[in-house]
Amino acid sequence: VLPGDNISMTVSLIAPIAMEEGLRFAIREGGRTVGAGVVAKIIK
């Protein structure tokens, strides 16, 4: 994946967290943002 690319992914969280569709999130690694997105669908 290169900067500016759009992808779809499925993730599993290691801890429960309140989420809803449309929520914006950031993926951080070592204090640095490496990705960002929007929750499109909640899978139960």
The domain tally of the chain equals: 1
**pLDDT tens, 1-44?**
898 999 999 999 999 999 999 999 999 999 999 999 999 999 88
What's the pLDDT score for residue 3?
86
CA distance 23 to 38: 6
- The pTM is what? 0.72
Question: Would you state the pLDDT for residue 44?
Answer: 81
User: What CATH number does the domain containing 34 carry?
Assistant: 2.40.30.10
pLDDT at position 1, please?
87
**Neighbouring C-beta atoms of residue 35, cutoff 10 Å:** 12
Q: Are 24 and 38 in contact (CB under 8 A)?
A: yes
Structural domain of residue 43, as residue ranges?
1-44
